[in-house]
Amino acid sequence: MRKFSSYGPVDTDLYYHVPRKALIERARTQLLGENPVKTGHYITIWAPRQAGKTWIMNQVLWDLAKDGRFDVLKLELESLKMIEDTDRIASNIAGKIIGYLDLRDITVRNLEEFEGLFKKGILTKPLILILDEFDALTKDAIAGLAGVFRNIHNIRQKDPNPSGEKEYLLHSVALIGVRSVLGIGNMRGSPFNVQRSVHIPNLTAEESEQMFRWYESESGQKIGKEVTDRIFLETRGQPGLTSWLGELLTETYPVERAEPVTMEHFRYVYKRAIQALPNVNIISKANQEPCRDTVLQLFKTDKRIVFKYDNRRLNFLYMNGVIDIEETEDELYVRFSSPFVQKRLFNFFSDELFPETGKLYEPFEDISDTITPDSLNIRNLMRRHETHIKRNREWLLRDAPRRKDLRIYEAVYHFNLYRYLCDFLGTKNTRVYPEFPTGNGKVDLIIEYAGQIYAIEVKSYTNEAGYREGLIQAAEYGEEMTVSEVWLVLFVEYVDEKNREKYERDYLDEDTGVTVKPVFVETGN
C-alpha cells in the first residue's frame, strides 16, 4: 500500500497524492496554446516551497511528451545557483538543451549566442521548454534569460507562419519558481503577461480529506473526521505539511491498525511536531536579520501589515513558506502561512527570548489568591505577571528585540506571558498552549486546569475603539470555543487606577451570551 511523503516530488505509484487534474490541464493548455498551430504561452509557475510546483509540471511534461509535434524538455537549474557569471549559466543551459536534443556542431558560449539556439534550422521542430528552480539563478541571470525569452516571444507573436515555420521555434516556456523572484507584478522584471502565470495553490479541504480517505480505504484504519478537519485547519492545506502530518500519524507514531486515529492521537503527534521534531528551514529563515524584525511585527494584534511584492523581506519570507497573502476586497495583507508555522515560531521565540523567567514567588508565599486545588483566579494571575515584569524588567528585558524607536516589540510581552504561565503553572498538572485562529498576529492562550478551560485573548491597548472591538472579538472567540467567559488581557505602557476601574469591567455580549473579562497588564515600555 502507499505511504505519505513530504520529501520532494511524489511518486504517484508509491505515495498518496491529490491528482489536481484541473491544475495540470490548465498548465498544459497554456504551454500548448489555445491553438497549438500558432504558438504557446510563455508562463511562470509560482508558489512557495513544497507547494507541488515540480510535481505538477512533471505531470505536464509526461503528458506533452506524447505529442509528436513538439520536443519537450524540463531542465533542473538548482545546480547552477552557485554560478555568478550569466554567460556561463546561459552556456550551461544551452549545453543541456543541445545534449538532450542531440544537436550537432552547436556551441553556445554566452547569453548573446543563447538566443540563436532557438532559431529554425538549429531546432528541427517546435520546442516546449520547462525550467525548474529558475529562481535559484542570480538576479542578473534571471533578467538576462528573461530578456532573451521576451524578445523571442515578441518576434513569434508578429510572425504569421505556423509554429513550426516561424523564425524561432521556441513554442512555449514555463519558468518554475516563486512569484516575487520571477518579477510578477513588476513590469520591468516580468518577461510575460501577468495573466499567463499559473499559481499552485494549497490543497482545498476536500483535496486534503481525499488523501486521508484513500489511506483509510487501503489500510482499513479509520481516521476521525475531526482529525482530518484539524489537519487542514493547522496546515491550511499546505501540501508538504499535510503529507508530513499524515506520515507522523500513520508511520512515525502509529497506533494499531485495528484502532481508529482519534483526536487524542492527533494531539500526541502534533505536540511532537511543534516541540520535538526539527523544522530547521522555517526557523532559520524567520530568525535571520533583517527578516527577524519583520516576523516579530507580524505578531502585532492592533494593525495588519500590507503585502507588497517589492518588499524584499516579505518576498523572502513568502518564498520560504513563512508567510502567505490574504486578499480582501480592497487590499492584500500578510498572514502567517498556517497556524502550524505560527505556533512553531511562537514557541521558538518564547524559548529563545525567555529561557529563564526567574523567581516567580517566594518558597513559602501564600498564592491561594491566585491558584487553589480546583480553580484559577486569572485577574490575580495577571497582576502577579505585571508585578513580575516591573520587578525584573532590568534583566528580563535587557536583550529584548526593539523597534527602530527603541520600544520593545509588542510580541515580546506575549512571548513573556506565555513563558510566565508555563513556569508559574507548570508543576500544577496544568496545560498551557497558544492558539492562532486567524493567522494574522492574533494570539490566544488556553489554560486547562482542574477540569476547566480558561480562554485568554491577548492584545495591546491602543485606543478605546480598539478596546471595544476587542471585546466583541473575544466574545466571538468564546462562542467558537463554546465557553461562557473569555479573559481579554490588554498590554499597555501605563494605566492609572481610574481607568482600570473604568475598563476592567465585565462585558456581556448579547449576541453570543459570552462574558468578556478585561484586565490590563502595565509594561512601562
Range 301-305, long-range pairs (CB < 8 A, 24+ positions): 301/410, 301/441, 301/442, 301/443, 301/458, 301/459, 301/460, 302/410, 302/459, 302/460, 302/462, 302/466, 304/333, 304/334, 304/440, 304/441, 305/333, 305/334
**Co-location of 262 and 193 in the same domain:** no
Which one of 199, 220, 243 terminates a domain? 199
**Co-location of 98 and 225 in the same domain:** no
In angstroms, the CA 55 to CA 196 distance is 19
Smallest CA-to-CA distance from 433 within 474, 443, 269, 7 is with 443
Can you tell me the mean pLDDT for 152-181? 88
pLDDT in tens, 22-51: 999 999 999 999 999 999 998 888 877 778
**Co-location of 44 and 165 in the same domain:** yes
Can you tell me the mean pLDDT for 241-252? 95
**Co-location of 194 and 45 in the same domain:** yes
**Co-location of 223 and 364 in the same domain:** no
Residue 156 has pLDDT above 90, yes or no: yes
Residue 328 has pLDDT above 80, yes or no: yes
Q: With respect to residue 460, please indicate whether it lies within any of the assigned structural domains.
A: yes
Residue 188 has pLDDT above 50, yes or no: no
pLDDT value, residue 139: 86
pLDDT in tens, 475-494: 998 998 899 999 999 999 99
Residue 280 has pLDDT above 90, yes or no: no
pTM for this entry: 0.84
Can you tell me the mean pLDDT for 326-349? 89
By the 8 A CB rule, do 170 and 118 touch?
yes
Which one of 277, 292, 323 terminates a domain? 277
What domain range includes position 166? 21-199
By the 8 A CB rule, do 34 and 25 touch?
no
**Co-location of 70 and 215 in the same domain:** no
**Co-location of 122 and 222 in the same domain:** no
pLDDT value, residue 515: 97
Please, which pLDDT band fits residue 185 given cuts at 50, 70 and 90?
Answer: very low
**Co-location of 114 and 82 in the same domain:** yes
Lowest mean pLDDT among 303-307, 322-326, 425-429: 425-429
Residue 159 has pLDDT above 80, yes or no: yes
Q: With respect to residue 236, please indicate whether it lies within any of the assigned structural domains.
A: yes
In angstroms, the CA 60 to CA 53 distance is 11
**Co-location of 135 and 209 in the same domain:** no
**Co-location of 111 and 32 in the same domain:** yes
Q: With respect to residue 327, please indicate whether it lies within any of the assigned structural domains.
A: no
Average pLDDT, the chain: 89
**Co-location of 46 and 192 in the same domain:** yes
pLDDT value, residue 43: 85
- The CATH code of the domain that includes 56 is 3.40.50.300
pLDDT in tens, 199-221: 888 999 999 999 999 999 999 99
Beta strands in 138-217 (DSSP E): 170-177, 197-199
**Co-location of 193 and 209 in the same domain:** no
Q: What are phi and psi of 408, to 5 degrees?
A: -70, 140
Q: With respect to residue 438, please indicate whether it lies within any of the assigned structural domains.
A: yes
Which one of 257, 277, 297 terminates a domain? 277
Number of compact structural domains in the chain: 3
Taking phi over 0 as left and psi of -120 to 50 as alpha, with beta for the rest, 133 belongs to: left
